[in-house]
Amino acid sequence: MKKKLLVLVLMFMFALVFTPGTFAGDDLELNMENFWGPIPPGQTYQDMTPEQIMMANQNMNDAVDPVLDMFGFLAGGGLYNSGDVHGIAGFDVGVKLTAMQVADDQLPFLPDLSSNYQYGPLQGQSVIPLPMLHAGVGLFGNFEVLGRFFSYPMGDEGNLTLIGIGAKYGLLQNFALPKVAVVAAYHYLTLPDEYDFASVNSMSAAVVVSKGFPIISVYGGLGLDHVNLEIDLDPIPYKEKFNKTNFRGNVGLKLTPFPFLFINLDYNFGAVEGLSMGAGLSIR
């Protein structure tokens, strides 16, 4: 029964990764040009007064902030499920799903120049999921390297692709004590040409502690997600660089109902809240 349950979970999560429409990209307003202004009908940006440009710039600044929250949280989610480190040539491979809960303060009120308004790029969203393939391989000296990948088709424009690389180092790996490790990862997002007005990347780092028991282990971590975003709306006169750092903590459970296969789930809290879950194959 346990084996059948785990197989079903694995099949479900792989389907999440490879089925178009899993990520909320079709519903998210990723074209940030739409939040500069908007320019009133019959007017061009060359006709705008300094006051109007100031309002447009403030709209963009307010719209960017929840995007920074979203990217840092989703990219940095599911980095670990244990303070243990794989031995030489040990590995794990599987799928991760991180889901961000959209808070009220991530739906900023953006007035336009015609006394209308909108609520920013996350409007209409309550939960935003991101599935990823995730793999780790053990090296010498308590080191492990990580790789992560996600790609999503954006219609005829091309794919939105997230690539992550990282490392994990075991600080304390005594079998009789809780395992302690540090983990860090860098993620970079590539966008279709239609969205080439922006570039974004993030760094995530955390300390993780875990304690294993038969079949089940508990883990938790504390860390930071730092995001860099550059927007250039040429020919619209808007070019800015943004960065933001959010604290993240999490607590979770990892189940190993039979050798080598696992399921994990953790709750993430801090400036952004949500869940991460994973399933896969792990050989120590």
Per-residue pLDDT, 48: 84
Could you give the number of structural domains in the chain? 1
Give residue-wise pLDDT tens across range 4-14: 444 444 444 44
Provide the pLDDT for residue 56. 87
Structural domain boundaries, residue 229: 2-283
pLDDT > 90: what percent of the chain? 60
pTM for the predicted model, two decimal places: 0.89
Instruction: Tell me, letter by letter, the H, E, C secondary structure of the chain.
Output: CHHHHHHHHHHHHHHHHHCCCCCHHHCCCCCHHHHCCCCCCCCCHHHCCHHHHHHHHHHHHHHHHHHHHHHHHHHHCCCCCCCCCCCCCCEEEEEEEEEEECCHHHCCCEECCCCCEECCCCCCCCEEEEEEEEEEEECCCCEEEEEEEEEEECHHHCEEEEEEEEEEEEEECCCCCCEEEEEEEEEEEECCHHHCCEEEEEEEEEEEEEEECCCEEEEEEEEEEEEEEEEECCCCCCEEEEEEEEEEEEEEEEEEEECCEEEEEEEEEECCEEEEEEEEEEEC
**For residue range 39-84, what is the model confidence (pLDDT) as tens digits?**
777 778 888 888 888 888 898 999 999 999 999 999 999 999 999 9
